[in-house]
Structure 1
Amino acid sequence: MTETLLAELKARAHALGFDAFGVARADARPDLPEKLQAAIAAGWHGDMDWMEETAARRAQPEGLWPGARSIILLGLNYGPDSDPLALLEEKSRGSISVYARNRDYHDVIKGKLKELAGLLARRSGAEVKVFVDTAPLMEKPLAEAAGLGWQGKHTVLVSREFGSWLFLGAILTSAELPADDPHAESCGSCRRCLDICPTDAFPAPFQLDARRCLAYLNIEHKGPIPVEFRKAMGNRIYGCDDCLAVCPWNKFASVTREAKLAARGDLERPALADLAKLDDAGFRTLFSGSPIKRIGLARFLRNVLIAIGNSGDADLLPLAEARLANPDPLVRGAAVWAVRRLAPQRSHQLALAYLPGEGDTSVRQEWTQDL
């Protein structure tokens, strides 16, 4: 019965659009608590306090749900049609991480997972719970245990078939299912993902310090982008794909994907000039159904203004100047940096106009600190 059920589940998963399927025991990774605590003790989680607050549940699936016995891990390929690194040379356009160029992947995958979990529950009578990166579950090491791939030196799951481009989802169940063999780490001597990182965010292979990661800084971090990382940010306005895009296993990732995962044309290479003009209503409309919407307008404009400062495009200067009086200090501070980068001489005149009335300490520092 179990083998027949697994065959039915795999067939249904494929019909739903999943590209990878594997099973791991809930207790397959007893090493995770120690690794998680070491990362938190080192402060690599930055100001993502929720990682520390949920550490007890995050460390093991049984901590999240004591009834879990098996985990079905599923992967959906979202590999891009072109090299996302090429866009980094188009300084007046914004680079959005591949995963965020269309619908929020949580919404895309969750419905599919629920349908598959429902099938498992009906056939087995077991309890089920579904997760798509929205609960303290360490999907990547568990996917490694389920044989979907291995965590590469950039800490992202790597697949022989799909490279570094897999969305992951999980179904925890009380059913005892036969587990797949774990995938062996297969990076070899390659270190391309480590060498390309513009901020040296990897203390060592297989370790990531989020405090230096551009994807963390321009998505999760709520304050100003640290000055030391702004030039390295370039035109990356949401996320950073450098370490994923350079992985040599990506050459196998160009399989046909369902159309709903294809990138929206307006998010593949958006003009910074258009993005800098967005108001709250325009931002919500443009990014409706997108993960980008979750960071809010202020953080998004912060990112766009840093990119404008890095663009070298004097035509964008008026758009940066227009944000110097923005009511949000996060936006004003980024605008100051952009103006000072694009027009150092003019920024002196602007400082005389804006600095006397500036009440926010961080923005005042932007007018005077070294670039």
Structure 2
Amino acid sequence: MVEAALPKVKIYATGGTIAGASNSNSSTDTTQYSAGQVTVEQLLQAVPPLKDIAMIESEQFTNTGSNQLNTSILLSLTKKIQGDLDSDSNLSGVIVTMGTDTLEEAAFLFDSIIDDERPIVVTGAMRPTTSLSADGSFNLFQAVSASISSSSRNRGTLIVLNDRIGSAYYTFKSNTRTLDTFQALEAGFLGTFAGIEPIYYYQPARATGRQLYPVSSLPANNNLPSVSILYAALDQGPAQLDFAASQGVQGVVIAGEGDGEADRTWLDSMTKLMNRGVPVITASRSPSGTVQAGNNFGNGTTSIPSKTLNPQKAKILLQLQLAKAPLDMQAVKDVFKTA
């Protein structure tokens, strides 16, 4: 009797805490450590049972903390993943290991570009490899398990950590330290795990507002348009907005108060930018809820509301849209209308 071949997956390692190691040789140190110290080969060696569930290819794409990544590096990785999926029909899915600081933005970028029914699973860790109860190895095991499951298909990019499966569109990092940092407060998780078996709560679906930007629509040099995120707070006037405008940014996202608002003194500068063809997106610094059009902010004249997207994801969406259609303000409005 011929045994069935194991499913094939590919892991792209980029560093992060999942590849981190303590600087003090302490097993209880979860703060003073360096990210990106362990190679993907070492990560795989620490999880021997993986060889029993999948044939694994791996690539050390980079090895650094995710706060050292940028959209140019991530676009290069995205194109690499899309190319590998297109050229290898035997791949069941792919996994990206990375730091959690910018994981939600990277996953959102992958989800907005990669066009394939096979799962792209992004995972990381909150404790370095040298820590007691380090979470990276089991997160990696569950990520591989999710990537080979037929139930994971047609769901877009998935975020897998701490026994949870989340949509890249809605899931975000909510805590600087805890293992359950990744949450989807409004939309909820897509599923969980029983051991290593993924269990989904719903049939496959994509986020309502998800936009697709094929690789062909992206810059060959991987440089996306410049978009700044500005933070609104008490006593915060429009000086930072005026400075951003003077630096030639191509778009602005405001992490606003409540429903995407700021001091009324911002309105004149916002309107001038919009009239110049520079989109201003009003998002919220609050961790959940939607941002809608108001009388002063988000009315289409002073700014465009981000709807369900937080500032960092709104920035990625705006960059992708500006790369596709640089001078089309109406297209930006249309894209965010369903975000």
Q: Is the structural similarity TM-score above 0.5?
A: no
The TM-score normalised by the length of structure 2 is 0.31
Larger radius of gyration: 1
The TM-score normalised by the length of structure 1 is 0.29
Q: If each structure's strand is expressed as a fraction of its own residues, which one has the higher value? A: 2
